[in-house]
Chains A and B, each alone.
Chain A
Amino acid sequence: MTITEKLLARAAGADEVKPGDYVNCRLDLVLANDITAPIAIQEFRKLGAERVFDPERIALVCDHSTPNKDINSAEQTRMVRDFAREQGITHYYEADGGGIEHIILPDKGLVISGDVVIGADSHTCTYGALGAFSTGVGSTDAAAAMALGECWFRVPESIRVTLTVELRQWVSAKDVILHLIGQIGVDGARYQSLEFTGPAIADISMAGRFTICNMAIEAGAKNGVVAPDEQTMQWMDGRTDREPVALASDDDAVYAREVEIDLSALEPQVSFPHLPENTRGISEVGDITIDQAVIGACTNGRLEDLREAADIIRGRHVAAGVRCIIIPGSHEIHLQATREGLVETFLEAGCLVSTPTCGPCLGGHMGVLAAGERAIATTNRNFVGRMGHPESEVYLASPAVTAASAVAGRICSPEDL
């Protein structure tokens, strides 16, 4: 079996599963946020359920429209807050100690290797980086799961993505996943599991693995996964009292497809509007001026990403007419970035530094675009209207390319500065 099959089998109490099987799995965690939880709570009530199955195995994170951007959002957040209090759900995060859900859940040790997790947010696939089975669902699935503590799945086929050799300078995990999506397409892994393996994995940090798994959904995948190794175990150490379970694919596991990526041949990637699969190498980008740069989001809002951006921005200044918005992924990361002097570096360079939020990634607040405007961002989607007006454009890239572009005023590599 592949690691995904093993994770599902274990949670279903089955000895073995194969692609196409329908299984019912016990859940280790159910997640929802400020825009998906309101519907989930309404459906929960309609079920006739009174108590959630286990208040310790539910996480409610308000991050999309927070700090509340208008009255409706405030009402929605309050509904989630009230429900958490009513049900005794301790893993409720909004302000102090909060942040973007897919950044804080692993940081707080709420997901560990071996877990089966669902979240009412498509980027729940992020936690596969820990060697967990983690997938996005809708609000009603989350409601049923909050009541029952279990969820049905159709076991997906797996695609094995083997990463070899090593990344060149200025090339990062974000470029790896953008390149893959460019290669296989936004439905290239539809209903399938993307399993990342190979000798280069050991050199990719946990932050990089989270970035890669975060965008598995952009290829249509059911989940992304990286088998736990020494680095994973060390990273989780001290974050949880639970015992992580490290599973791995068997040598004779069957894959629907094999993809190999030679990282040494990879240059920084940029996804052009209006599909994540519309990728080009930085050398083929041409001359594209930008109005806004965004560094943050669940994809690249970690301390490592901020350090990389700061290294490029330090001693330089944001180009005239460009808004460069930095959004640390969590309250903790924001504090750490401040202590390391990164926030000062950003401010001195003319960047704007925000409190953690999903904000502009989905065109909500904190940097929405007008018609005709162009943004380069470390986010994960660039569909029509994603960051604002339907006639605006979003280009996806790594923190390094986004930072360099903010300084240059046009899309470029740090090498061009």
Chain B
Amino acid sequence: MRASGIAHKYGDHVDTDAIIAARYLNTTDPDELAGHCMQDIDAEFVSRVSPGDFIVAGRNFGCGSSREHAPIAIKAAGVSAVIAANFARIFYRNALNIGLPIIECPEAAERINAGDKLTVDTEAGTIDDHTTGESFSFAPLTGIAAELVAAGGLVELTRAKLADRAQE
């Protein structure tokens, strides 16, 4: 995947209550969820974000609850990838499962500023910051993580497994 957009910058420990508050969990509709993305810590996010943009954050992004509504809201808001120093484990897994690209790159997380124009290439493993002129590289996903991304998500991967089983 290759995408370009603006960076929306956050700090450490952005939790899933901040990404999508529990009062909005009585719906499964992605567009409704997108409308409340990051609301409690950044009320302007939904009006500021454009398709292709990036969330850039510090350590432990997505900590707290296992709610899949969190990566769903981010993806439906048009974010093309989340770049963070590192990720909380349930969020990381959920993002891969639903096809939201996530990139672990501590250097990029620190150096990129809010509003910077970025281009990200997940296959080449590069992040180009057009505003500062800096470039960063990150390790490509491997193993099951790579399999999930290649398949387009867990549903696609599992469908193939179920079909194999049916044939046995």
Report A's interface with B, CB cutoff 8 A: 22, 35-36, 38-39, 42-43, 46-49, 64-65, 69-70, 72-73, 76, 120-122, 136-141, 143-144, 147-148, 152, 154, 186-187, 190-191, 217, 220, 222, 275, 362-364, 368, 381, 383-386, 390
Q: Do residues B41 and A384 form an inter-chain contact, with CB atoms below 8 A?
A: yes
Check: B50 CB closer than 8 A to any chain A CB: no
| Contact status of A384 and B23, CB under 8 A, knowing A46-B155, A137-B93, A147-B162 | no
Q: Do residues A381 and B64 form an inter-chain contact, with CB atoms below 8 A?
A: yes
| Contact status of A386 and B13, CB under 8 A, knowing A72-B27, A138-B68, A138-B93 | no
Report the Cα distance A288→B157, complex, angstroms. Answer: 52
Q: Do residues B22 and A363 form an inter-chain contact, with CB atoms below 8 A?
A: yes
Q: Which residues of B contact A138 (CB under 8 A)?
A: 66-68, 71, 90, 93-94, 97
Q: Do residues B143 and A73 form an inter-chain contact, with CB atoms below 8 A?
A: no
Q: What total of A-B pairs shows CB separation below 8 Å?
A: 137
Closest B residue, CB atoms, query A118: B66
Q: Do residues B63 and A220 form an inter-chain contact, with CB atoms below 8 A?
A: yes
Contact-size category for B = 35 or more
Report the Cα distance A139→B21, complex, angstroms. Answer: 17
Q: Which residues of B contact A65 (CB under 8 A)?
A: 25-26
Q: Which residues of B contact A154 (CB under 8 A)?
A: 144
Among A141, A190, A385, the residue within 8 A (CB) of B88 is A190
Check: B153 CB closer than 8 A to any chain A CB: yes
Q: Do residues A137 and B90 form an inter-chain contact, with CB atoms below 8 A?
A: yes
Q: Do residues B155 and A22 form an inter-chain contact, with CB atoms below 8 A?
A: no
Chain B min CB distance to A273 (Å):
12
Q: Do residues B144 and A120 form an inter-chain contact, with CB atoms below 8 A?
A: no
Check: B131 CB closer than 8 A to any chain A CB: no
Interface residues in B136-168 (C-beta closer than 8 Å to A): 143-144, 153-155, 158-159, 161-163
Interface residues in B10-45 (C-beta closer than 8 Å to A): 13, 15, 17-18, 21-23, 25-28, 40-41
Closest B residue, CB atoms, query A150: B161
Interface residues in B97-114 (C-beta closer than 8 Å to A): 97-98
Q: Which residues of A contact B21 (CB under 8 A)?
A: 363, 385
Report B's interface with A, CB cutoff 8 A: 13, 15, 17-18, 21-23, 25-28, 40-41, 59-60, 63-69, 71-72, 86, 88-90, 93-94, 97-98, 143-144, 153-155, 158-159, 161-163
Q: Do residues A187 and B158 form an inter-chain contact, with CB atoms below 8 A?
A: no
Among B17, B26, B41, B161, the residue within 8 A (CB) of A35 is B26
Q: Do residues A47 and B28 form an inter-chain contact, with CB atoms below 8 A?
A: no
| Contact status of A384 and B40, CB under 8 A, knowing A140-B154, A187-B63, A363-B23 | yes
Q: Which residues of A contact B26 (CB under 8 A)?
A: 35, 65, 69-70, 72-73, 76
Q: Which residues of B contact A122 (CB under 8 A)?
A: 64-66, 90
Closest A residue, CB atoms, query B154: A140
Among A22, A47, A137, A190, the residue within 8 A (CB) of B162 is A47
| Contact status of A137 and B17, CB under 8 A, knowing A22-B143, A220-B89, A390-B40 | no
Which 5 residue pairs of A and B lie closest in terms of their CB atoms, listed nearest first? Answer: A72-B26, A138-B94, A362-B22, A138-B68, A385-B40
Q: Which residues of A contact B25 (CB under 8 A)?
A: 35, 64-65, 362, 364
Among A69, A120, A144, A385, the residue within 8 A (CB) of B158 is A144
Instruction: Supply 12 A–B pairs (Cβ within 8 Å), ascending by A.
Output: A35-B26, A39-B28, A49-B162, A72-B26, A138-B68, A140-B154, A147-B158, A152-B144, A186-B13, A186-B63, A220-B60, A362-B65
Q: Do residues A381 and B13 form an inter-chain contact, with CB atoms below 8 A?
A: no
Q: Do residues A136 and B13 form an inter-chain contact, with CB atoms below 8 A?
A: no
Closest A residue, CB atoms, query B25: A35
Q: Do residues A121 and B66 form an inter-chain contact, with CB atoms below 8 A?
A: yes
Q: Which residues of B contact A46 (CB under 8 A)?
A: 155, 159
Q: Which residues of B contact A76 (CB under 8 A)?
A: 26, 28
Q: Which residues of A contact B89 (CB under 8 A)?
A: 190-191, 220, 222
Q: Do residues A47 and B158 form an inter-chain contact, with CB atoms below 8 A?
A: yes
Q: Which residues of B contact A217 (CB under 8 A)?
A: 90
Chain A min CB distance to B142 (Å):
10
Q: Do residues B65 and A140 form an inter-chain contact, with CB atoms below 8 A?
A: no
Closest A residue, CB atoms, query B166: A48
Chain B min CB distance to A209 (Å):
22
Closest A residue, CB atoms, query B17: A383
Closest A residue, CB atoms, query B161: A148
Report the Cα distance A144→B158, complex, angstroms. Answer: 6
Interface centre among A76, A187, A364, A390 (most CB of B within 10 A): A187
Q: Which residues of B contact A390 (CB under 8 A)?
A: 40-41
Chain A min CB distance to B146 (Å):
12
Among B18, B88, B90, the residue within 8 A (CB) of A187 is B88
Closest B residue, CB atoms, query A277: B13
Report the Cα distance A124→B143, complex, angstroms. Answer: 26
Closest A residue, CB atoms, query B147: A152
| Contact status of A383 and B64, CB under 8 A, knowing A43-B155, A72-B27, A141-B154 | yes
Report the Cα distance A187→B164, complex, angstroms. Answer: 39
Q: Do residues A48 and B22 form an inter-chain contact, with CB atoms below 8 A?
A: no
Q: Which residues of A contact B143 (CB under 8 A)?
A: 22
Report the Cα distance A273→B137, complex, angstroms. Answer: 36
Q: Do residues B162 and A48 form an inter-chain contact, with CB atoms below 8 A?
A: yes
Q: Do residues B97 and A140 form an inter-chain contact, with CB atoms below 8 A?
A: yes
| Contact status of A140 and B162, CB under 8 A, knowing A43-B155, A190-B60, A364-B22 | no
Chain A min CB distance to B162 (Å):
6
